[in-house]
Amino acid sequence: MHPMILAEMNLLRLAVSFMTRLPVGNPDYSPEKMHRALRYFPATGWLLALLLCGLTVVVSAIVGVETAVVIAVIASLLLTGALHEDGLADTFDGFYGGLSSEQKLTIMKDSRIGTYGSGALFGALALKVTLLLQLADAGILLSALILAYPLSRAMAITHGQDLPYVTAPGKSKSDPLARPMSVTDLTVTLLSGAVALLLFPLWTAVAVIASVVIARMLLRRWMKKHIGGFTGDCLGAAQQLQELLVYFVLAASVSTGGSL
């Protein structure tokens, strides 16, 4: 196989190993290669979405869609090691449990979960199940998963383009996220994250794009206000909130007769 293809396959394996618990062997790692693998984070979202779609179809045929949705949410937690949900909980604990930026960052590094984190995690999971059930009733559950998983991951990692990384280098597995991506890698990331918009009507796609862009601006201000930049936990929180937003916009589109 051509060396360039092998190199790209290694980057994909690095992305999958970072974002999931799926077995990919032992890819060749270096901080620079991990940084270049960022462009494959949406592809990891595609992989997860397709696995969950297959699981949902099978379980729905056996016990019904309601149970299938709950099992899919649990399976997502297992497949990712609850990576993003952990970031969501840590971010809320830190941002609202500390007074200074230093206190917030210290709390975010604590492995224990607090009241703010528990509330955010429970609320996010409850809202996710509710929205997915509504999308299932509308017959667009699978396409919603295929859109939300890659797009939310693509939007989350773009915060590294214009926010400083505030965790000290060498102390986090997210250190390779500290530098901005090249224009080419950023373009590939956004296109691969958003391509599933082609499955939806034009105005729904426009509403999704506008919503996630506005959400990114608000999330950027939120992170900058509390800690002056971003951490890996913040990106996990951003991914979860963007994913929920995509489901919400799609559900709103359905409830308004597709006029969005």
Q: Choose among 228, 227, 257, 230: nearest CA to 156.
A: 230
pLDDT score of 176 more than 80: no
Report the pLDDT value the prediction gives residue 172, as an integer from 0 to 100: 59
Question: What is the average pLDDT across 76-98?
Answer: 97
94 — pLDDT class (breaks 50, 70, 90)? very high
Task: Kindly report, residue by residue over 21-62, the tens digit of the pLDDT.
Answer: 999 999 999 989 999 999 999 999 999 999 999 999 999 999
Q: In whole angstroms, give the CA distance from residue 145 to residue 46.
A: 9
CA 203, 205, 211, 214 torsion-angle sign: negative
260 — pLDDT class (breaks 50, 70, 90)? low
Question: What is the average pLDDT across 82-109?
Answer: 95
Task: Kindly report, residue by residue over 1-14, the tens digit of the pLDDT.
Answer: 778 889 999 999 99
Q: In whole angstroms, give the CA distance from residue 175 to residue 94.
A: 19
Q: Choose among 95, 145, 92: nearest CA to 120.
A: 92
Lowest pLDDT segment from 41-50, 101-110, 175-184, 220-229:
175-184
Question: What is the average pLDDT across 90-116?
Answer: 94
Report the pLDDT value the prediction gives residue 178, as an integer from 0 to 100: 76
**Residue 107 in contact with residue 231, Cβ under 8 Å?**
no
Mean model confidence pLDDT for the chain: 94
Break the chain into its structural domains and give their ranges. 35-255
Instruction: Please give the residue that has the higher pLDDT: either 176 or 252.
Output: 252
Report the pLDDT value the prediction gives residue 86, as an integer from 0 to 100: 96
pLDDT > 90 fraction of the chain, expressed in percent and rounded: 88
What pTM value is reported for the model? 0.94
At 1 the three-state DSSP class reads coil
